[in-house]
Amino acid sequence: MMTVQSLSPAALFDGAQLDARAYSDPGIFDLEMERLFERAWILLGHECQVPDAGSFFLGRIGRYPLIVVRDQAGVVRVLHNRCAHRGPAVCTHRTGRTQLFVCPYHAWSYELDGRLRSMPLREEYGATFPREQRGLAPIGRVALYRGFIFGRLAAEGPDLESFLGQARLAFDDFVDRSPSGELEPVDPPLRYRVRANWKVIFENLNDILHPLFAHASAAAAVKAVRDVDRLHPLQRLLAAAPAMPLKTFQQLDSVITDYGHSYVTGLVSLAGREIPRDAYFAALAERHGEEGARRVLSTDVHVVLVYPSVTMNSRFQTLRLVRPIAVNETEVEAHVFRLKGAPESVFAQALEYNYVSGSPASPVLVDDMEIYERLQSGEGVRGRLSVERCLESTGGADPGTRIPATSEQYIRKQYELWRRHLEEALP
């Protein structure tokens, strides 16, 4: 693909300030798609979404539409959703089950593993037609971690576990919270588009200070509710946060990995509630033992950012796939999963969290979307932007080191990686 590069990544980020044209320059967006998204491991979904042979769902890496399918041998495949004849998408249903993929243009048909099965007027292609080279092309690499399906367009690069590093905690916690160790998909996901660049979402979701200000009106509305104990834990925390001194947030920890992933610890514990010894605890204790159940339920991580493709809240079995569409448009797909064997009340909390945090009708998310779009429009796409909070104290921190959660080091780390990829085309 030809790239029109108009700006230097090094000129856009100097380690302390960001040129806002990083959000709006088409040449930079082209480089991101080619050198970052095509070379990173991208989360596509979970294997429970393809339980049987022929079950599939559509995914995307950068600009490439994909099909995730379980083939007749039970292998999870990730194939380019592009007919090898004239190029249209062979599948347009977001999820489903099939025995073959058939192109709607000229009826070329493909097996579940991508091999070309047949085409009309086969004899007109001649005896030397390379049938074995005309299937649905597989992507470079596919790997699973705890059932979560990751794909990478490039064949070379770090293995998945090395890429995830300490962010594996989110996937472990996600699955360990299931009394059976199994997940069930819930369809359809919430889906919305933001008129803003994809990077602003990753900059925002581990910013633990912004809720005190950006979500002040939502917090005030929640605080006015009489029976606060009936509210979702996220809403209770939202109502309590404005009254907390800022030093409370300075005492929380942030963890940042080599590949730009990050999460905050200690935020959940601010609610200060005991772990209930209820039916859910009993169900988990059957699988993990009582100590194991306490360990699982006391895991205190909030949103985990797995850069550059997904944000997760394992406590409430939700994930948000972040998909760049254009330099100024991003699609977000918010999924929630049911834990097999858990009481219905656990699923009800997860479902409510997904609506509170992942629906554009949410009074919380609507604030974030407003901020994203303000950043993208007008004066927000010119000038230098600061990411200097705690630069002197944490700017040189080694990956994996716990640092104050109020630091903007996680944003700086994202842009250090971003700059290296765009300049050096790292594998």
CATH of the domain at 284: 3.90.380.10
| In-domain check, residue 1 | no
Tell whether the model's pLDDT for residue 91 goes beyond 50.
yes
**CA atoms within 13 Å, Cβ hemisphere of 203:** 21
Residue 82 sits in a domain of what CATH number?
A: 2.102.10.10
Residue-wise pLDDT tens digits, 134-188: 999 999 999 999 999 999 999 999 999 999 999 999 999 999 999 999 999 999 9
More confident residue, 347 or 245: 347
> Domain boundary residue among 75, 110, 145?
145
Span 123-139, average pLDDT: 92
| In-domain check, residue 155 | no
| In-domain check, residue 385 | yes
Q: Which residues pair with 66 in a beta bridge?
A: 59, 80
Q: Which residues contact 308 (CB under 8 A, 6 or more apart)?
A: 36, 37, 40, 42, 198, 202, 260, 322, 414
Confidence of residue 225 (pLDDT cuts 50, 70, 90): low
Q: What was the pLDDT predicted at 424?
A: 77
Q: What was the pLDDT predicted at 2?
A: 43
Judgement on whether residues 121 and 190 belong to the same structural domain of the protein? no
First to last CA, the chain: 17
Tell whether the model's pLDDT for residue 234 goes beyond 70.
no
**Number of domains, the chain:** 2
Q: What was the pLDDT predicted at 398?
A: 78
Confidence of residue 124 (pLDDT cuts 50, 70, 90): very high
Span 351-355, average pLDDT: 89
Question: Which amino acid makes up residue 133?
Answer: Q
Tell whether the model's pLDDT for residue 414 goes beyond 90.
yes
Q: What was the pLDDT predicted at 251?
A: 79
Judgement on whether residues 214 and 114 belong to the same structural domain of the protein? no
Span 290-312, average pLDDT: 95
DSSP 94: S
| In-domain check, residue 36 | no
| In-domain check, residue 6 | no
Residue-wise pLDDT tens digits, 267-288: 777 766 788 889 999 999 999 9
- Provide φ and ψ at 16, rounded to 5°: -135, -30
Judgement on whether residues 119 and 74 belong to the same structural domain of the protein? yes
Residue 110's nearest CA partner among 147, 145, 84 is: 84
Judgement on whether residues 236 and 355 belong to the same structural domain of the protein? yes
More confident residue, 236 or 249: 249
Tell whether the model's pLDDT for residue 427 goes beyond 50.
no
Confidence of residue 394 (pLDDT cuts 50, 70, 90): confident
More confident residue, 383 or 164: 164
Judgement on whether residues 139 and 198 belong to the same structural domain of the protein? no
> Domain boundary residue among 116, 145, 174?
145
| In-domain check, residue 154 | no
CB burial of 87-125 (b: ≥16 within 10 Å; e: otherwise) equals eebbbeeebeeeeebbbeeeebebbbebebeebeeeeee
Residue-wise pLDDT tens digits, 23-78: 999 999 999 999 999 999 999 999 999 999 999 999 999 999 999 999 999 999 99
Judgement on whether residues 184 and 52 belong to the same structural domain of the protein? no
Span 419-426, average pLDDT: 81
DSSP 274: P
Span 232-255, average pLDDT: 69
Domain with 211 in it: 163-424
Query: pTM for the complete prediction?
Result: 0.92
Tell whether the model's pLDDT for residue 219 goes beyond 80.
no
Residue 316's nearest CA partner among 113, 136, 178 is: 178
> Domain boundary residue among 113, 145, 177?
145
Residue 32's nearest CA partner among 340, 312, 417 is: 417
Judgement on whether residues 215 and 359 belong to the same structural domain of the protein? yes
Span 126-140, average pLDDT: 93
| In-domain check, residue 24 | no
How far is it, in rounded angstroms, from Cα 121 to Cα 329? 42
Judgement on whether residues 88 and 228 belong to the same structural domain of the protein? no
Judgement on whether residues 122 and 173 belong to the same structural domain of the protein? no
Q: What was the pLDDT predicted at 1?
A: 45
Q: Which residues pair with 326 in a beta bridge?
A: 329
